[in-house]
Structure 1
């Protein structure tokens, strides 16, 4: 439904985050509990539902470099157009704080090379995701960024950047398109980002958060004895529901094939 609505609003690319997958499939937080098969199945449902190009956050590729190759293959089969592979040490090692460790540069480069080698469609985009900012600082990030580009990834994805200087330093050290995770307002200037090679800048998971709040509010309204009419101003129009469910397509198919 989200992909259909996004497409109807003119979005060309959708992002399916690992945290959203964990929430939707498992009702669990983003702590690397979802399996590759569960993730791929959900991605396939999205690509089947609409024509929007789907980019996914495939975490650490669900294991070592060999697992990364399997991940790329399965996601391509699900008609995913782009996927990120990150250097965070996942699942969180015993005794470590979540997200507080990254794998070695050598291992990370091996995983990036494996992802690129596994592509069957040259149009598939492999994105090397770097989460080392809070661990190795900007120098470590620059070293990894250059190494991932040399490994053949099509784009680079960074989390934890906090200043424009970080973005500028990365742009100076690399040549391929850049992507940012949620970042401070100082960085969220579209002209600045475009001038420094950033092609995608994520803005968190607002649709999921609004959806959860909406479900809670509706259930709370009923629990308090409220009637549906009391929340009529919060419900979608018939037109929006029809877009979400592709009702026009199904009506046409029923008219053609069932009558």
Structure 2
């Protein structure tokens, strides 16, 4: 599947009538598993990327080059349309344009550009936002940076938990006017906030969390919420599994006695063993 087909599949989710829960992916193997399990879309979150690439917290320490290469590895591995957390675009509006170009070339189906002030400002413990005007400039640059118009650009804001719902509404309206394809909101806590956002924009909506009263797909769908994130548990689970396995080995457990390992069938499926063997037979003249 070519990148444009993945992007069109992602757009089909946004133009649909139901709420989709994306599969959190962080490398080629996790992306293949998500695809095999039937997830319509995958998401490479900033925290998952930072942990997978550097083993560090989500402090925007990875570079655009590192993120792009990870996206390239993920998209090469299968057909899953992947949404990428591009944070603040790695700089000002000109950097945003370059970020979009690189992630598009790497095969991303969608990406988010946010208006959080990143990296964290000196002496400021709490998150801060850039101005609406600067945010609009970044959204315009993101739109201008793509060469494939099917690439989906999300304008993202965490204003709800920083400056309040009124500012969130103002940013939603401004980013829609700037030409983004969809809006991504974090920090939304109530149905009233969702309704306030949905009332001022016609764009598809993504929410970062859907706890409590918000965990209602019928309500969310009625407010044009098309994607509801469900965190990044897969990489957390993988971390725990690797820790438990290495700990057991260190403490003397023999490999044959380890618990929780994948079956040979699952491993072969994830590696696309049948496809590779057929390729070997076709091009190397060896029997399967």
TM tier, smaller: over 0.9
Q: Over residues 35-78 of structure 1, what are the superposed CA-to-partner deviations in whole Å (9 max), with x where a residue is unaligned? A: 00110011001011111111100000000000000000111111
Is this contact kept in 2: 1:15–1:56, CA < 8 A? yes
Secondary structure in structure 2 of the residue aligned to 1:139: helix
Q: Which residue matches 1:168?
A: 195
Which residue of 82, 94, 100 corresponds with 1:66?
A: 94
Matched, 1:223 2:250: yes
Instruction: After TM superposition, give the deviation of residue 185 of structure 1 in Å.
Output: 2.9
Q: RMSD of the TM alignment (CA)? A: 1.1
- The gaps in structure 2 that reach 5 residues or longer are 1-28
Equivalent residue number for residue 252 of structure 1: 278
Equivalent position of 1:242 in the other structure: 268
What do the CA deviations read for 1:189-211 (whole angstroms, capped 9, x no partner)?
11111111111111111101100
Structure 1, unpaired ranges of 5+: none
CA contact (8 A) 1:58 1:85 kept: yes
* Shift in Å, 1:231: 2.8
Distance 2:40 2:276 in 1: 23
Whether contact under 8 Å (1:4, 1:243) holds in the other structure is no
Between the aligned partners of 1:47 and 1:134, the Cα distance in structure 2 is: 33
Find the partner of 2:183 among 133, 151, 156. 156
Structure 1 counterpart of 2:144, from 103, 117, 134: 117
Matched, 1:186 2:213: yes
Q: Distance in 1 between matches of 2:57 and 2:269?
A: 30
Question: How far does the alpha carbon of each residue in 1:90-113 deviate from its partner, in whole angstroms, 9 at most, with x for none?
Answer: 000101125x10101110010001
Q: Structure 2: how far apart are the matches of 1:134 and 1:12?
A: 29
TM-score by length of structure 2 reads: 0.87
- Residue 60 of structure 1 contacts residue 88 of structure 1 at CA under 8 Å; is this kept in 2? yes
Secondary structure (helix, strand or coil) at the match of 1:186 reads helix
Displacement of 1:10 after TM fit? 1.0
Q: Could you tell me which residue of structure 2 aligns to residue 30 of structure 1?
A: 58
Instruction: Please give the TM-score of this superposition, normalised by the length of structure 1.
Output: 0.96
Where relative contact order (Cα < 8 A, 6+ residues apart) is larger, the structure is 2
Q: Answer whether contact 1:127 1:153 (CA < 8 A) is retained.
A: yes
What is the CA-CA distance between 1:79 and the residue it aligns to?
A: 1.2
CA distance in 2, matches of 1:6, 1:184: 23
1:80 has 2:118 as partner: no
Q: Select which of 158, 161, 165 maps to 1:138.
A: 165
Aligned length: 257
Instruction: Name the stretch that deviates more: 170-179 or 219-228.
Output: 219-228
Q: CA deviation at 1:16?
A: 0.7
Deviation at 1:186, TM superposition (A): 2.0
CA distance in 2, matches of 1:225, 1:159: 45
SS across alignment from 2:100: helix
